[in-house]
């Protein structure tokens, strides 16, 4: 079945540091891949997505590239801000996901210090 | 901007009480979902619906029940709340498998 593995947090960075949050997946066929963000006290928001191999999703300075050969979708940002402090979830939608639509990773908490 | 609403945002209630968590969306989405989010942040799907009069259990067993009488409304009910039900409950909807829109969540505390 489908599964998503994320690096454990918390990840603590200083403002303007480079961010990488690792995400790898297991799925049948060619899933679509997503990053969601959850700010304190809120629900999840879609941050970016990629629907086929080698696609790059990007939004608000965040990027992730769909790497089929390494089954990865790592999230990156060149210069983080305090306002980026949140929990980040990697997710996939694929053939085995079926009606459930999305399989989520366990989330990675990012803390950015001024 | 997604239009999906959850009420109440916070609820503190005593053991044994019946509660209903409300979820409504104005996007006309057929698919709706309930997730339970534990303190470790992980999301567990507890219920989903493909449309009116269609509901299914999710991956995590839950004592809650849901109904889908109208497309826009997907309430979750606990007949007798217990401390083990203390959690964050997130509702979501989608028109296609490639994106879900989430509500702000209800944080439930059962004393």
| Chain A residues touching residue B100 (CB < 8 angstroms) | 44, 46, 101-102
- Cβ contact B59:B6 at 8 Å: no
| Chain B residues touching residue A97 (CB < 8 angstroms) | 97
Asked if the Cβ–Cβ distance from A106 to B41 is below 8 Å, we say: yes
CB atoms within 10 A of CB B1: 3
| Shortest distance, CA B14 to any CA of chain A (angstroms) | 23
pLDDT of residue A101: 67
pLDDT of residue A47: 96
Residue window 36-75, chain A: list those with CB within 8 Å of chain B. Answer: 36, 38, 41-46, 49, 51
Four-point Cα dihedral B10, B1, B34, A39, nearest 10? -50
Asked if the Cβ–Cβ distance from A99 to B56 is below 8 Å, we say: yes
Q: Which residue of A has its CA nearest to B58?
A: A100
Question: pLDDT tens, A45-72?
Answer: 999 999 999 999 999 999 999 999 999 9
pLDDT(B1) > 70: no
Query: What is the rounded distance in angstroms from the CA atom of residue B7 to the CA atom of residue A108?
Result: 27
**What does the mean pLDDT of chain A come to?**
92
pLDDT(A102) > 70: yes
| Chain A residues touching residue B99 (CB < 8 angstroms) | 34, 46, 49
Tokens of A55: 């696609």
- Cβ contact A112:A85 at 8 Å: yes
Lowest average pLDDT, out of A26-40, B17-31, B79-93, goes to: A26-40
- Residue B46 touches chain A, beta carbons under 8 Å: no
What is the number of helices (H) and of strands (E) in chain B? Answer: 0, 11
- Cβ contact B34:B66 at 8 Å: yes
SS3 call for B84: helix
- Residue B23 touches chain A, beta carbons under 8 Å: no
Higher pLDDT, B41 or A83: A83
Question: pLDDT tens, B25-61?
Answer: 999 999 999 999 987 788 888 999 999 999 999 888 7
Distances (CA, A) of A72 to A25, A29, A30: 6, 14, 12
Q: Which residue of B has its CA nearest to A52?
A: B98
Query: What is the rounded distance in angstroms from the CA atom of residue B4 to the CA atom of residue A103?
Result: 21
**Nearest-5° angle of CA B58, CA B60, CA B64?**
80
- Residue B32 touches chain A, beta carbons under 8 Å: no
Closest partner residue to A44 among B45, B48, B90, by Cβ? B90
Query: What is the rounded distance in angstroms from the CA atom of residue B67 to the CA atom of residue A25?
Result: 33
pLDDT(B4) > 70: yes
What is the number of helices (H) and of strands (E) in chain A? Answer: 0, 12
pLDDT of residue A97: 55
pLDDT(B2) > 60: no
pLDDT(B18) > 90: yes
SS3 call for B7: strand
Question: pLDDT tens, B63-105?
Answer: 899 999 999 999 999 999 999 999 999 999 998 766 889 999 9
pLDDT of residue B97: 65
Mutate: best of B37, B38, B58, B97, partner A, most A CBs <10 A: B97
């Amino acid at each position: 079945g489908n599964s998503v593995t994320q690096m454990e947090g918390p990840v603590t960075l200083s403002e303007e540091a480079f961010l990488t949050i690792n995400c790898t997946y297991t799925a049948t066929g060619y899933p679509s891949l997503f990053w969601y963000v959850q700010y304190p006290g809120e629900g999840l928001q879609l941050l970016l997505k990629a629907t086929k191999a080698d696609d790059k999703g990007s939004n608000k300075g965040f990027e992730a590239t769909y790497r089929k050969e390494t089954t990865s979708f790592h999230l990156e940002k060149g210069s983080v801000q305090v306002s980026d402090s949140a929990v980040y979830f990697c997710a996939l939608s694929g053939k085995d996901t079926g009606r459930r639509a999305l399989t989520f990773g366990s989330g990675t908490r990012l803390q950015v210090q001024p | 901007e997604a239009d999906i609403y959850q009420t109440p945002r916070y609820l503190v209630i005593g053991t044994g009480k019946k509660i209903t968590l409300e979820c409504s969306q104005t996007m006309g989405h057929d698919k709706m979902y309930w997730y339970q989010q534990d303190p470790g942040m992980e999301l567990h799907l507890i219920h989903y619906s493909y449309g009116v009069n269609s509901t299914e259990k999710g991956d995590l067993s839950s004592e809650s029940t849901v109904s889908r009488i109208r497309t826009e409304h997907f309430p979750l009910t606990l007949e007798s709340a217990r401390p083990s039900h203390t959690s964050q409950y997130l509702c979501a909807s989608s028109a296609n498998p490639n994106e879900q829109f989430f509500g702000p969540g209800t944080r439930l505390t059962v004393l």
